[in-house]
Structure 1
């Protein structure tokens, strides 16, 4: 029996996932007000039209549009349809979707745990909610890599955002540091330094970062205060440097 899957939102992630599902044998119907469906995917004129007849809906639009997409689609959804929200959003928003769909659809919180380009449907996914196991079984049949959490709607989003604090925070630190280095005429030197540090990192790096920050909080606080002052002199906003200084200040015994 052919599985009918609706994909709402055809940005980078939605388009790649929809294409992979279609190529794997699913019947995929999609909607995006700004982007046409890729080859092999049926284009529709609304969220509700895309959802009509689908047993699974993948909402990949945006956190800002997630509730509206579900609300607009409810009249077209069959009872028991799995509504999978793949948007990066707070656990509270995911929980509110569960409440909004209660009695009509089964909401599953899905977190994409790495960048989608180059991976598409094979992007590692973490899922939570009562229907997560059922959804995982279907998507695994099309080649998806899925981890099901033993937790409520919102548990997957919590893991995703905690991970984002590190990865996006590290990226922001790199951007701030290189922007300041460019202003100082030292961008290539710092790029090489950062590359070398990333290459040398290993399992002990995390313990060193955590333990060193607590043990040397006073000295490092002063170091980051000086770094923030340097960035100010260079005309670069010291957002990460100042936040680091403040965190280290909180760690002082």
Structure 2
């Protein structure tokens, strides 16, 4: 299948390379002058990339997702549009509304993409869910297809974020205290023993610091969703505070 990947950040490059390796014809677009993997065609615009694609994978970031969807709508074409961005339910619905008459899939990525590339597990909802499962299945991904509307997969991702980002905040807070006490290495080993992975501990800490600004928005979406459900948000609020502190520290540095 011809697959268009919009957004060639870390995840986009890995997806493009792996889908090409799985035998798909991959075309991609990014407004920045970033390197493209071998075998991936460079398009001059999002609409050009999407025009003849059977599947469009949007990895532009939630802030640009709706605008990019409008550009793709202008291109026409009959391919499925799969929104892979970490975004709230309302943003996913707005993306779908920008593409009237087009087959849409709401995709939630359930683990860091650098860990497994296109084999990263997915949850998908919406009319285009089966198409995403078909294409990413060829790359080795485990894809859970929900018989549900656009926004359902995003809701699952936000529920997971309440746990994963909350866990990261707990690890960062305790390790930060351990640094002051001169016991950082000891505590990291203790946490790794409980979680079963030193790599996971590193990822929770380093990933939070690296992606803090984006994760602030993710946790704000998470809080809105929990509010909608009538659920408690204490841990969500504390996690957002930690991420905002990390953003402030990075800016000061």
TM, length-normalised to structure 1: 0.74
The corresponding residue for 1:52 is 51
What is residue 4 of structure 2 aligned with on the other side?
6
Name the CA distance, whole Å, in 2 between partners of 1:188 and 1:122: 32
SS, match of residue 196 in structure 1: helix
Take 2:174 and 2:16, find their aligned partners in 1: how far apart are those partners? 38
Report matched runs for 1:1-253 at 5 Å. 3-34=1-32, 35-78=34-77, 80-103=78-101, 105-199=102-196, 243=238
Q: Secondary structure at the match of 1:94?
A: helix
Range that drifts further, 29-38 or 7-16: 29-38
Q: State which structure, 1 or 2, has the greater radius of gyration over its C-alpha atoms.
A: 1
User: Residue 227 of structure 2 corresponds to which residue in structure 1?
Assistant: none
Gaps of 5+ in 2: 198-233, 240-253
Instruction: Name the SS for the 1:14 alignment partner.
Output: helix
Q: C-alpha displacement at 1:91, in angstroms?
A: 1.1
1:199 is displaced (CA, Å) by 4.2
The answer for unaligned runs of 5 or more in structure 1 is 201-238, 245-253
Alignment length, in residue pairs? 201
3-state SS, counterpart of residue 111 of structure 1: strand
Alpha-carbon displacement from aligned partner over 1:190-248 (angstroms, at most 9, x marks no partner): 22332333349xxxxxxxxxxxxxxxxxxxxxxxxxxxxxxxxxxxxxx97x949xxxx
- The CA distance in 1 between the partners of 2:193 and 2:41, in whole Å, is 48
TM-score by length of structure 2 reads 0.74
Q: 1:176 to 1:4 in 2, by over 3 A?
A: same
Q: Report the counterpart of residue 249 of structure 1 in structure 2.
A: none
Match of 1:227 in 2: none
Cα RMSD over matched residues? Answer: 2.1
